[in-house]
Structure 1
Amino acid sequence: MSGRTQRRALTPLIFALAAACFSLAAFAQPVGEVTYAHGLTSVQRPGEDARFVQKGDKLNQGDVISTSNRGFAVVSLKDGTKITLRPNTTFSVDKFSHGAGEESARFRLVKGGVRAFTGLISKRNPQGMQLAARAATMGIRGTSFDVRACEGDCAEELKAGRKKEGLPSDLVIARVAVALGTVTVVAANGQTRPAGKGTPLVNGESVRTGKGSHAIIAFRDQTKVTVTAESEFKLENVKFTGAKADSGNFVVRIVRGGARALTGLLAKSQPENVRVNMLTAVVGVRGTGIDAMFGLDCVAPNQCAQGAFVHTWEGAVALEVGGRSLLIPLGQTGVFNPKFDRLTLVERRPQFMIDEPAPRPDGIEVDFDNLFGVFRLDGYPTGLYAIVRDGHIEFFGSAGSIDLGPGESGYLADGQDTPVRLADQPPFLLNDPYPLPDRFDEQTIRLLEVLNPGGSAGDLICEVQ
């Protein structure tokens, strides 16, 4: 065989060996560390025997972490993600990359439970973090959540007599039903996150759209709002009460751009509590469909300024400024121009409103039951449970999915293929004695309360020693 032929024959082998070495190098790179371990905690790497670990030990991609019957651990990953592993938990870091432009992570919960606080990966690439457990996959959009794979242990924990706590269960007032193009949610503190179908919204947040984009927001009372391109729509004071979400307040603001709205149950039962703010004007809604948009209003040649235009395509509205009120009947358009103090009906609807490409919400079907429907369990049977403390997760079964926002919990029964949103927050998740990882302080943790909730000191004296 000639030297050239030998080199050709060896080339594929060299590439294969290089790829294998690169893969092994990726698995050998630390992705985090154990920040606390009580009891027996072990780590097993691919192709190696399990070994016991302690505080400060490094974790690699591919590691499988296990805790004992009375043990628990807290781990920290390089992107700032922190995870508490409860007793009898087996959890693996299947994939982890936090390099710029390559942010992704995939975890697997084999058994037990975790409490998690996500870091930069979920912020920079909200579609890039997943947790697999049993027959489910969870798309983690941040920020704080708990997951438990329950056998009989979860129901048994309810007998422990722990201090009862709770999360507000009515924080999510709306969801993004459609997101086309660039859609962003701005929190009350100014932090932004990408929005997609199912993204939960809470009071004080805003929805922003980019050029050529639009979003459709579905509210608990069945109000539907299309946020047009290059717009910002803020939930200023929105809160629903009552079993049907037909009471409360609905005060929103169009900060810029425009919106197309079809009001829901609250506008029918308490119309005085429904308002759309634009500049210093208020659109008083009486159960209706409207387009409300900012545009150029000219009172004479070369005398133009931004005005707030409102067109009514169902019902009627009043455009109110100070003590003045302009009734806008069906099919009519009104304008408020603050520069020229103009509040009047216009002869023709402006062309930019006629040409608006974003769809009217009355023509869009929205599955409100999937977005907001809840299921009440009889007890707490075996299966997979999740609760969101802050942020958003998508809970996927093999045949369907639900979105969970702050204060919401979900459940996938063993043998079922579609998760459900729960009417009641599972007490064993709410009152979990094991620490939230972002609040954990090993100097102040009281192990007796954690390891033996509701018991006496003598129950654990041998094990604690």
Structure 2
Amino acid sequence: MRTQVSILSALLVAAAGALAGVAEAASPVGQVTHLSGTLIAKRADGSTKLFSTKSEVQEGDTLATEQETYARIKFADGGEVVLRPGSQLKVAAYAYDQAKPASDNIVLNMLKGGLRAVTGLVGKRNRDAVNFATTTATIGIRGTHFGALICQNDCGGVPTVTGKPPENGLHLDVADGAIVVKNAAGQQVISSGQFGFVQSATTPPVIVPPAQGIQVTMPTSISQNSSSGRGVGKAKEGECAVQ
């Protein structure tokens, strides 16, 4: 009888540990704070969920906005990302503990479309721990607010000074701070007020003149905080807005 009780106790302890592990793995790393349109999340286990405002984002999620959809996500460290229509972003890694800076590690894979991002606590205290990865280059953070747009024959509606669609590749703009853009061909620091471009994974990142730069801006309803008036990539008069 005692043996059976011991075995049962061991099984219960093991089950509790397994459940705790699952709960820990599924802990949210962010939340959808603003949404206009349809936002779909593909979980790490292959399941798909239709997100709404206040939906919780988990590590491993791939977020996809449909046409005419803008979505704003606030992460656990206070960082924020706004996605434009037709975008895909994967939360490849997200490790943050306010009491353990050494464990910080945030990797967001930008698969398609465009976004604006504002650094949270991790980017301020451990700047090498935050990276945005794309197929053409990796974007390292230096405590910043930046925009990025991937064009793959799908940027025909983006306004430019020439009236022609932007070149295929990765377009970047920095509103505050700086980013370090690098790939196998080279590395480039892009600072506040500057624009950058990476044509492919085999060509080096370069700075482009402001008149040729593409600035990613978002609708006020998504980008602005109602209480403070501050926002993430809010369009201003005279700016080249990505619509």
Is TM-score (shorter-chain normalized) higher than 0.5? Answer: yes
Question: Partner residue of 2:92?
Answer: 94
Question: Partner residue of 1:49?
Answer: 47
Deviation, 1:52, is 0.6
Note closer, same or farther for the CA distance 1:438–1:41 as it changes in structure 2 (3 Å cut): closer
Pairing partner for 1:63 from 61, 64, 70 = 61
Output the aligned Cα RMSD.
2.9
Pairing partner for 1:74 from 72, 75, 79 = 72
Deviation, 1:47, is 1.4
**DSSP-derived class of the 1:145 partner:** strand
Note closer, same or farther for the CA distance 1:36–1:436 as it changes in structure 2 (3 Å cut): closer
1:72-109 residue CA offsets vs partner (Å, 9 max, x unmatched):
10000011101101000000111112212222211000
Question: Partner residue of 2:131?
Answer: 130
1:158 aligns with 2:174: no
Q: Amino acid of the residue matched to residue 413 of structure 1?
A: Q
Deviation, 1:152, is 3.5
After TM superposition, the structure 1 = structure 2 runs for residues 15-54 of structure 1, keeping only pairs within 5 Å, are 22=21, 24-54=22-52
Deviation, 1:51, is 1.2
Question: Partner residue of 2:7?
Answer: none
Note closer, same or farther for the CA distance 1:78–1:132 as it changes in structure 2 (3 Å cut): same
Deviation, 1:433, is 3.8
Q: Give the distance between the partners of 1:415 and 1:114, measured in 2 at CA.
A: 20
Q: Give the distance between the partners of 1:19 and 1:384, measured in 2 at CA.
A: 42
Q: Give the distance between the partners of 1:401 and 1:134, measured in 2 at CA.
A: 15
Pairing partner for 2:224 from 435, 439, 457 = 439
1:24-48 residue CA offsets vs partner (Å, 9 max, x unmatched):
5543111110111111101111113
Question: Partner residue of 1:424?
Answer: 210
1:406 aligns with 2:195: no
**DSSP-derived class of the 2:210 partner:** coil
Structure 1, unaligned stretches of length 5 or more? 1-13, 161-377, 445-449, 451-465
Note closer, same or farther for the CA distance 1:117–1:415 as it changes in structure 2 (3 Å cut): closer
1:291-319 residue CA offsets vs partner (Å, 9 max, x unmatched):
xxxxxxxxxxxxxxxxxxxxxxxxxxxxx
Note closer, same or farther for the CA distance 1:428–1:386 as it changes in structure 2 (3 Å cut): closer
**Across the two proteins, how many residue pairs are aligned to each other?**
209
Question: Partner residue of 2:11?
Answer: none
Q: Give the distance between the partners of 1:148 and 1:136, measured in 2 at CA.
A: 12
Alpha-carbon contact 1:115-1:437 (below 8 Å) kept: no
Alpha-carbon contact 2:172-2:214 (below 8 Å) kept: no
Q: Give the distance between the partners of 2:190 and 2:126, measured in 1 at CA.
A: 18
Runs of 4+ in 1 over 6 A off after TM superposition: 18-21
**DSSP-derived class of the 1:121 partner:** helix
Question: Partner residue of 1:453?
Answer: none
Alpha-carbon contact 1:409-1:425 (below 8 Å) kept: no
Alpha-carbon contact 1:116-1:437 (below 8 Å) kept: no
Q: Give the distance between the partners of 2:40 and 2:75, measured in 1 at CA.
A: 17
Q: Amino acid of the residue matched to residue 184 of structure 2?
A: S
Question: Partner residue of 1:144?
Answer: 145
Q: Amino acid of the residue matched to residue 96 of structure 2?
A: H
Deviation, 1:437, is 6.8
Q: Give the distance between the partners of 2:188 and 2:139, measured in 1 at CA.
A: 10
Q: Give the distance between the partners of 1:26 and 1:400, measured in 2 at CA.
A: 39
Q: Give the distance between the partners of 2:178 and 2:160, measured in 1 at CA.
A: 30
Q: Give the distance between the partners of 2:113 and 2:148, measured in 1 at CA.
A: 9
What TM-score, normalized by structure 2, do the two folds share? 0.76
1:340-371 residue CA offsets vs partner (Å, 9 max, x unmatched):
xxxxxxxxxxxxxxxxxxxxxxxxxxxxxxxx
Alpha-carbon contact 1:115-1:436 (below 8 Å) kept: no
Q: Give the distance between the partners of 1:132 and 1:425, measured in 2 at CA.
A: 26
Deviation, 1:427, is 5.4
Deviation, 1:410, is 1.0
Structure 2, unaligned stretches of length 5 or more? 1-13, 230-234, 236-243
Q: Amino acid of the residue matched to residue 402 of structure 1?
A: Q
Deviation, 1:420, is 0.8
Q: Amino acid of the residue matched to residue 56 of structure 1?
A: K
Deviation, 1:154, is 3.3
Q: Amino acid of the residue matched to residue 224 of structure 2?
A: R
Deviation, 1:379, is 7.0
Alpha-carbon contact 2:171-2:214 (below 8 Å) kept: no
Alpha-carbon contact 1:35-1:74 (below 8 Å) kept: yes
Q: Give the distance between the partners of 1:404 and 1:387, measured in 2 at CA.
A: 8
Question: Partner residue of 2:240?
Answer: none
Deviation, 1:54, is 0.3
Alpha-carbon contact 1:387-1:425 (below 8 Å) kept: no
Q: Give the distance between the partners of 1:425 and 1:159, measured in 2 at CA.
A: 9
Note closer, same or farther for the CA distance 1:124–1:433 as it changes in structure 2 (3 Å cut): closer
Deviation, 1:426, is 4.7
Q: Give the distance between the partners of 2:212 and 2:91, measured in 1 at CA.
A: 27
**DSSP-derived class of the 1:56 partner:** coil
Pairing partner for 1:84 from 82, 85, 93 = 82
Note closer, same or farther for the CA distance 1:417–1:48 as it changes in structure 2 (3 Å cut): same
Deviation, 1:50, is 1.3
Q: Amino acid of the residue matched to residue 113 of structure 1?
A: G
